[in-house]
Structure 1
Amino acid sequence: MLRTLKIKNLALVDDVQVGFNEGLNVITGETGAGKSLMIGALRLLLGERADKSMIRTGETSCSVHAEFGLTDTAQVDAILLDIGMEPCDGGLLIIRRIITETSSKTMVNDDPVTLQVLKRLGEVLVDMHGPYDHQSLLDQGVQLEILDAFGQLAETKAAYAVEYVKYREIQKQIDALNSDNEEDLERQIEFLDYRVNEIEAANLSEDEEAEVEEEHSLIANAQQVIGLANGAVSALTEGEGCAFDGLATAQQALNQLVKLLPEAQDWHDEIESAVTSVQEVVRSIESSAAGIEGSAERMQWLDDRLTTYQTLKRKYGTTVEDVLANGETWKQQLQELRGRDKRREELRREQELVYKALEQAGLKLRSARENVADNLSECVTRELVDIGFEHGFFDVQINPCPPGASGMDEIEFGFAPNAGEDMRPLRMIASSGEISRVMLATKAVLAKQDQIPVLVFDEIDANIGGEIGGAVGRKLAQVARCHQLLCITHLPQVAACGTTHLAVSKKVEDGRTFTEVELLDDETRPEEIARMLGGKDSTNVTLQHAREMLGLF
């Protein structure tokens, strides 16, 4: 249950703390006194977006604070554990929100959280029903959700959803294949085919590119290379005073010296080795120089090859590796485009198989809904009798429809408010008072099995009066036996059924308006009921009537 709600500097509220109890908590007060501000504050705590205009004039921030005391914390703890927080300690859950002109801070049990977390908590903590929410009952999607919730069909619905997601995913792929204009598709195929053929025809290789660049550089300098090689050979073996002649002369002298000086043999051997080295170097130089092909034809081929590499890198990638990788990608895309018809047919065959599983799951869900529909009709009809529709009848119609996210069924709530009247779709009922009571009846039915601890009704009794108002109040009190209810009401008949009564009023001090909330007791409560009965000027008659309504004699 919601134990405490604290509001500070929110609109007309200066600083208010409100305590709630189990059962039916009614909130009353003059129009404009600020009753809905409490509901608005609660909505902020449950994830509704804030606006700096909510801050009380003259203040820089506002805050709201709620304490929940939970007997069953399983659903809340699951959410907290999912976001890495500790579970509730002793069933206590504290939510705080501070709003400034530039920011918003949200805390759960003193740990910062996001608005999304608040919304998740709100879904398991509080069921909010505003003054216009009864119109949502006319929405067939909402009607379907009510039927499924009543029948506890979440598991069956989830099994259907799994198959539906598979079906839709295949359909998306088929739609994507069908989405392109055929002329555009042909142009795309031609474009990719040209790129792939150009790259494949070039037969590119990173190793070859390096080799071509090296040979191109060598041939471009062929004359200089040959001239320098010939010069080196001449200096070593040709011409007057060449190195080879000098070594030969030295070798002859050492041949004679060996006979006179034994250690000269080492010198002789070294000179002989040098002669051999010179000869080997010369042969190597001559061989390399002879291998240089400096023909114009070869040079032209190398120029063309380098141009091919440079052109393709400029068009398709900064490196040969990039060009080849892009070529493979485009080749794959080309294969996919050319294989669209085949892929489309494969997907259609696959979709047929998935549709069979989808249809089976949908029919199972429909069967479950049909079993639940009659029970829901009976339960809501019984609740409607309690709130003034003595001869009213509620019905649930289920009609087949193409597969959708929620199943293969369309739901239509039907209602006959009086004896002898034909059943009509609920959406064709003009009276908002009737729709409000049907909504209350469905809420009463769902509340018996709903795990949400707190239900909030903001003027659900709008456009209702007289004895019907008393019946609505008694029905709210009945629902409050298994849930905590917070109910804003203008009807004294409803207010009299509350177990806790809070009166909201506003006053003006020093030119400023303040909203106050008072917990009424046996002495002050009759006065508030009397005000609701007869206005500000209560008489002994209205006070007596109020005491009678409250059972205070």
Structure 2
Amino acid sequence: MLVHLHVRNLALIEDIEVEFGPGLNILTGETGAGKSILLGSMQLILGGRSAKDMIRTGASNALVELLFQVENPRAEASLRELGVETSEGQVLLTRKLMDGRSINKINGETCTVAQMKAAASCLLDIHGQHEHQSLLYQDKQLEILDIYGKEEIFPAKEKVQTAYKKYRDCKRQLDELDIDEEQRNRERAFLEFEINEIESAQLVSGEDEELEKRYRKLNNGRKILETLQGVRDLTGYESGQGAGESVGNAVREISRVTEYDAQLDSMASALQEIDGLLNDFNRELASYVDDLNFDDEAFYETEKRLDTINGLKAKYGRTIEDIQEYCLKQKQKLENLDKYEERFHEAEENLKKSREELETVSHKLSVIRQKYSQMLTDKITEGLKDLNFLDVQFQITFRRRKEYTAGGFDDIEYEISTNPGESLKPLGKIVSGGELSRIMLAIKAILADRDQIETLIFDEIDTGISGRTAQKVSEKMALIGRCHQVLCITHLPQIAAMADTHFEIEKHQKDNETITEIHPLEGDDSVRELARLLGGAELTQAVFDNAKEMKELAQVHKNTRLK
């Protein structure tokens, strides 16, 4: 359950910390006191979008922290699947909002918004006006049925999803093959052209690199020859001024005096080594120059071959290997075209088999859903009677969709009659906003018994109700609070009187600023708040007495009927 909430610098909230208790936690306060802000802070943990204007004026950031004590083994197992480990049974979810971004943490470790939302969804469920309006949509109605019977429905649904994917793949393959003869002939001609163009080039792996080297050499041949001739003059013997001639003369000169001083032998040896190196270099240089061939025809052929290869690269791949691989793929396509009739009939047969398989598993799923729909119908009808729908009739109608979906072929609709003599009609044509919220409350109570989520939050559950109906809703809320922690924001004294823990949300002026605060109410303070909800502007003694009696009767109800 949610044991601690800390909110700082969020809208009108400066800094509040709340310790929630087990059972039914009621939050009341004047309109505009900040109840929606408190709910919004929890929505942020559930992945709600953050905006810059949510941060309190003058603050650089806002913070929301929720501390949960996890007691449900299934919730703990779900968290472990997400990689979240509890510490002494606790999980701390933190979201810090800054200008245009947020930092999210689970147990002090940074995570993404999606990861936090997934973890929070295992621990917390918020039910507000938007959600009970979603009950009008048939997809939501089907989702509720699937959750109710999830032990059998979810495994059957997975088989449908697998079969549907196979069916879609087979259908796509057949659609790709379904082309007329003229189009096939055009495609065959195009494939033959590409294959012929590549094969006629007779590409050899690595030849493009060798051609590039040869082309650079041939393209710069004159410059190479002129440069090497100059090098030859500088290092050779022919000109009489080259380094070779000079070093040779130096060797002869130094050899005349080495016999007079032994120390000159090392220098003479060095000069002889230099003379030898120059001789080797000049022989290699002469051989290179003699072998240079700057035939214009060779240059033209090299350039032409490179143009051919580069043209193929521009069409079919960056390397020769890519081009050859592309050619193999086109050959396979051509082969497939030649076997078109065979492959088309094979694809038709595969689609037929996949459709039959999908029909089988979809039918099984539908049978399971219909079994659970009757059980859910009975539960919802019973729950609605508990919520003051005295002559209600409820049923789930099944129709078959025209097309298969990943969820099977079922198209369902919740139908209801709230008055004697009225025929059953879809929810959207019958119920008011207040009735819709009660229907969703009945469904939530049913699912809560089968759910791993420990904390349920209700906002605007009291929309459009009063009197006896409000009393019935309060009793249902108290009943849910026996096995779940419930946080409920309400304006109705009948619901507030059932509180196991009662909080008041109020706003006041502080240093020329408006701030929202929340604090628990006990004893006479709780009665005073009930009197405010009952009496409006004028709080008379009679109103206080009425509030006290309401509180006492609620306590009696919890101590007797809910035990």
Per the TM alignment, residue 185 of structure 1 is displaced from its structure 2 partner at its CA by 6.8
Per the TM alignment, residue 379 of structure 1 is displaced from its structure 2 partner at its CA by 0.9
Q: Which residue of 2 aligns with 1:268?
A: none
Q: Secondary structure at the match of 1:59?
A: coil
Q: Which residue of 1 aligns with 2:283?
A: none
User: Looking at CA atoms only, which structure, 1 or 2, has the larger radius of gyration?
Assistant: 1
If the length of structure 1 is used for normalisation, what is the TM-score? 0.78
> 1:175 and 1:382 mapped to 2: Cα distance?
50
Mapping 1:46-125, distance limit 5 Å? 46-80=46-80, 82-83=82-83, 87-125=85-123
Per the TM alignment, residue 327 of structure 1 is displaced from its structure 2 partner at its CA by 2.7
Q: Which residue of 2 aligns with 1:201?
A: 200
Q: Which residue of 2 aligns with 1:163?
A: 163
> 1:329 and 1:506 mapped to 2: Cα distance?
72
Query: Can you list the C-alpha shifts for 1:26-59, whole angstroms capped at 9, x where unaligned?
Result: 1111111101212111111122232221100010
Q: Which residue of 2 aligns with 1:4?
A: 4
Q: Which residue of 2 aligns with 1:229?
A: none
Q: Which residue of 1 aligns with 2:551?
A: 550
Per the TM alignment, residue 127 of structure 1 is displaced from its structure 2 partner at its CA by 1.5
- The number of residue pairs the alignment matches comes to 472
Q: Secondary structure at the match of 2:364?
A: helix
Query: Can you list the C-alpha shifts for 1:348-390, whole angstroms capped at 9, x where unaligned?
Result: 2112112222111111111111111111111111111111111
> 2:533 and 2:479 mapped to 1: Cα distance?
23
Q: Relative to structure 2, which stretch is displaced further, 50-59 or 302-311? A: 302-311
Q: Which residue of 1 aligns with 2:406?
A: 405
Query: Can you list the C-alpha shifts for 1:69-116, whole angstroms capped at 9, x where unaligned?
Result: 111254345444544x5x212211111111111431111111111111
> 1:148 and 1:320 mapped to 2: Cα distance?
56
Q: Which runs of no fewer than 5 residues in structure 2 stay unpaired?
A: 219-294, 556-563
Q: Relative to structure 2, which stretch is displaced further, 534-543 or 200-209? A: 200-209
> 1:175 and 1:119 mapped to 2: Cα distance?
40
> 2:439 and 2:422 mapped to 1: Cα distance?
17
> 1:507 and 1:181 mapped to 2: Cα distance?
77
**Which residue among 303, 309, 328 is the counterpart of 2:305?**
309
Residues 191 and 330, structure 2, Cα contact 8 Å, conserved in 1: yes
Q: Which residue of 2 aligns with 1:384?
A: 384
> 1:481 and 1:506 mapped to 2: Cα distance?
31
Residues 143 and 413, structure 1, Cα contact 8 Å, conserved in 2: yes
Mapping 1:146-545, distance limit 5 Å? 146-152=144-150, 153-178=153-178, 189-205=188-204, 309-317=305-313, 320-336=320-336, 342-401=342-401, 402-545=403-546
Alpha carbons of structure 1 residues 444 and 60: separation in structure 2 relative to 1, 3 Å: same
Per the TM alignment, residue 64 of structure 1 is displaced from its structure 2 partner at its CA by 0.7
Per the TM alignment, residue 171 of structure 1 is displaced from its structure 2 partner at its CA by 2.4
Per the TM alignment, residue 314 of structure 1 is displaced from its structure 2 partner at its CA by 2.2
> 1:494 and 1:349 mapped to 2: Cα distance?
62
Percent identical among aligned pairs is 36
Q: Secondary structure at the match of 2:135?
A: helix
Alpha carbons of structure 1 residues 446 and 78: separation in structure 2 relative to 1, 3 Å: closer
Alpha carbons of structure 1 residues 312 and 370: separation in structure 2 relative to 1, 3 Å: same
Q: Secondary structure at the match of 2:33?
A: coil
Mapping 1:127-138, distance limit 5 Å? 127-138=125-136
AA paired with 1:196?
A: I
Per the TM alignment, residue 341 of structure 1 is displaced from its structure 2 partner at its CA by 5.6
> 2:353 and 2:535 mapped to 1: Cα distance?
70
AA paired with 1:397?
A: T
> 1:366 and 1:496 mapped to 2: Cα distance?
44
Query: Can you list the C-alpha shifts for 1:290-332, whole angstroms capped at 9, x where unaligned?
Result: xxxxxx9xx98x8997576334202112665454344334333
Query: Can you list the C-alpha shifts for 1:486-517, whole angstroms capped at 9, x where unaligned?
Result: 11111111111121111111001222101011
Q: Which residue of 2 aligns with 1:284?
A: none
> 1:186 and 1:60 mapped to 2: Cα distance?
68
Alpha carbons of structure 1 residues 67 and 333: separation in structure 2 relative to 1, 3 Å: same
Residues 129 and 457, structure 1, Cα contact 8 Å, conserved in 2: yes
Alpha carbons of structure 1 residues 309 and 319: separation in structure 2 relative to 1, 3 Å: farther
Q: Which residue of 1 aligns with 2:237?
A: none
**Which residue among 118, 139, 144 is the counterpart of 1:141?**
139
Q: Which residue of 2 aligns with 1:257?
A: none
AA paired with 2:348?
A: R
Q: Secondary structure at the match of 1:551?
A: helix
If the length of structure 2 is used for normalisation, what is the TM-score? 0.77
Alpha carbons of structure 1 residues 387 and 208: separation in structure 2 relative to 1, 3 Å: closer
Residues 148 and 369, structure 1, Cα contact 8 Å, conserved in 2: yes
Q: Which runs of no fewer than 5 residues in structure 1 stay unpaired?
A: 218-295
AA paired with 1:160?
A: V
Q: Relative to structure 2, which stretch is displaced further, 197-206 or 16-25? A: 197-206
> 1:142 and 1:398 mapped to 2: Cα distance?
14
Alpha carbons of structure 1 residues 334 and 509: separation in structure 2 relative to 1, 3 Å: same
Per the TM alignment, residue 193 of structure 1 is displaced from its structure 2 partner at its CA by 2.3
Alpha carbons of structure 1 residues 357 and 58: separation in structure 2 relative to 1, 3 Å: same
